[in-house]
Structure 1
Amino acid sequence: MAAANTRLRAIKLYKELHRLGREYPDPGYNFLGKLRRGFERNRNLTDPEEIEKALALGDYIKKETLALYSLRKYRYLKRTYSKPEGHDL
């Protein structure tokens, strides 16, 4: 039962990262290719501790990517709605 739960967590994490990677801002980085290779490299893990480490790393990458997107949105809004330089209103 635990193995099935871990497998479902890994599939869910892969899908979430894949959705996030579609909009990755740097096209030269190849986020989706690195994502796939990372999951393929770890697909033969059998030790529960190693699996948990890999899932924790995936969660960390998900959080960092979300933070990157939030920062990008913030910078866009700041640039759009801030007053022009040199104008004191």
Structure 2
Amino acid sequence: MANSLRGEVLALYKNLLYLGRDYPKGAEYFKRRLKTVFLKNKDVKDPEKIKELIARGEFVMKELEALYFLRKYRAMKQRYYSDTQN
């Protein structure tokens, strides 16, 4: 069981690191923050607590995806519609 949780944590870290490439404050900023958060929780041994942290990380992933989608939507909207239209 510990190995499966370890795999989930590693996959979450890799996915967040990948998503952080386009972070508005910069990839290096995101990478530092991500590393800090993961190192802060490295000593957690309780499987239930680890699952909670994984769920929180997945929520952050979804929020980042929504942020990027919204940014892309706004950029496309600016290209195709002028600001004078109501």
The TM-score with structure 2 as length reference comes to 0.90
Partner in structure 1 of residue 3 of structure 2: 4
Partner in structure 1 of residue 76 of structure 2: 77
Q: Distance in 2 between matches of 1:84 and 1:53?
A: 44
Where does 1:1-89 land on structure 2 (aligned, <5 Å)?
2-27=1-26, 30-83=29-82, 85=84
More helix by proportion, 1 or 2? 2
Q: Distance in 2 between matches of 1:31 and 1:53?
A: 21
Change (3 A) 1:41 1:84: closer
Equivalent position SS for 1:85: coil
Over the matched positions of the two proteins, sequence identity in percent amounts to 39
For structure 2, list consecutive stretches of 5 or more residues without a partner in the other structure.
Answer: none
Q: How many residues align?
A: 84
- Cα root mean square deviation, aligned: 1.6
Moved over 3 A (4+): none
The TM-score with structure 1 as length reference comes to 0.87
For structure 1, list consecutive stretches of 5 or more residues without a partner in the other structure.
Answer: none
Q: Distance in 1 between matches of 2:83 and 2:47?
A: 55
